[in-house]
Amino acid sequence: MADRKAASQKKITSTLKTHQGSLLLPDSSIGVLLAQLGTPDAPEPAAVRRFLAEFLADERVVDLPRWFWLPLLHGVILPRRSPRSAALYRKIWRADGVSPLLHDSRTVTAGVAERLGASIRVELGMRYGQPGLTALLHTMVRTGIQRLLIVPLFPQFSSATTASITDAVCGAFASSRFQPALRFVPPFFNDPGYIHALATTLRQQLDPAQPVDWLFSFHGLPQRFVDQGDPYALQCAETARLLAKELHLPNERWHIGYQSRFGREVWLLPDTARLLATLPGQGKRAVAVVCPGFVADCLETLEEMAVQGKETFLRAGGETFHYLACLNDAPPWIDALTTLIRRELSGWMEEM
């Protein structure tokens, strides 16, 4: 009897290892997943169309009735928008064939992994595009990850970004027979390390003591979302306030705006493009534009702000325009992110 019981247990153990990776606590069972929005695979219409189709089909991003929105998206919007967006992406694409967002996100991931050490597995996943979250999550679990920290790389919470990451992660395990222990890093819009890293990298690009007005531009959001309880606008305002304080900017020298409007409904105000067109008329002829809601430069910063925004400001009578780069792969940002992750891993790391 004892021999048969031992043989049965050995068979079960072998089956678990075969089908689930190693669920028997391997040397490293803790994973960290940095989750970014995503990027097209290439600055070509077909690749951009695939990316936009996935992005704009997300009900967290566009919550119109599916029967109305999806035919409009695939029949009208994507055929028109994909070639135009591809042309814009080509303007900012790196010479090595990689998008700026993907390049910097990879560097940040490697930097965090180095700082955390070999006992913690760190991966980069994209909500839209590649590497996709679902496949990556399943691979991590199959290879032994049993405790998983999700890090949405959005400082301010929005249902259209952070909540979409949560949906995707939970959805990936909705029908799984095994689910890892999950933690989600909360929004870090007021985290001292994030604010300090921002201020440090900005000072390296422009002395705040110079007679320049600063415009903190955040990605826009329909006003309706905020009216329904989304805390995004409040968190953006707090980030701007803390950053201005860290930079020692007097109130009259900094402004907040929202960019990247889409569709016809009312979005958050003030509109960044409108501000850039009106500031020169108010005697503010030198401006520095910062995008604190983006941790990595992308189309919305490198083209919409650094190119289109500059044209708008100079055409309106502005004289000096500075676009200040995002955190990207700056060491102070990697250090701050690692500190934040260590804090959220509390309890798990101590048990190793």
1-33 pLDDT, tens digit per residue, is: 455 545 544 543 444 343 443 333 444 699 999
**For position 78, what pLDDT does the model report?**
97
Interval 45-51 mean pLDDT: 98
**For position 333, what pLDDT does the model report?**
98
Contacts for 338 with CB less than 8 Å, ≥ 6 apart: 111, 112, 115, 116
Lowest average pLDDT, out of 10-14, 196-200, 344-348, goes to 10-14
- Angstrom CA distances, 351 to 9, 12, 55, 149, stand at 27, 27, 39, 15
State what percent of residues in the chain have pLDDT above 90.
89
Interval 163-180 mean pLDDT: 95
Q: How confident is the model at residue 107 (pLDDT cuts 50, 70, 90)?
A: very high
Task: Mention the CATH class of domain 30-187+331-351.
Answer: alpha beta
CATH (residue range 192-323): 3.40.50.1400
Q: Do the strands 320-323 and 286-290 form a parallel or antiparallel pair, or are they unpaired?
A: parallel
**For position 352, what pLDDT does the model report?**
61
**For position 45, what pLDDT does the model report?**
98
Q: What is the pTM of this model?
A: 0.90
- pLDDT per residue as tens digits for the range 111-168: 999 999 999 999 999 999 999 999 999 999 999 999 999 999 999 999 999 999 999 9
For the chain, where are the E strands, in sequence order? 30-38, 120-128, 147-152, 181-184, 213-219, 254-259, 286-290, 320-323
Domain boundaries, the chain: 30-187+331-351, 192-323
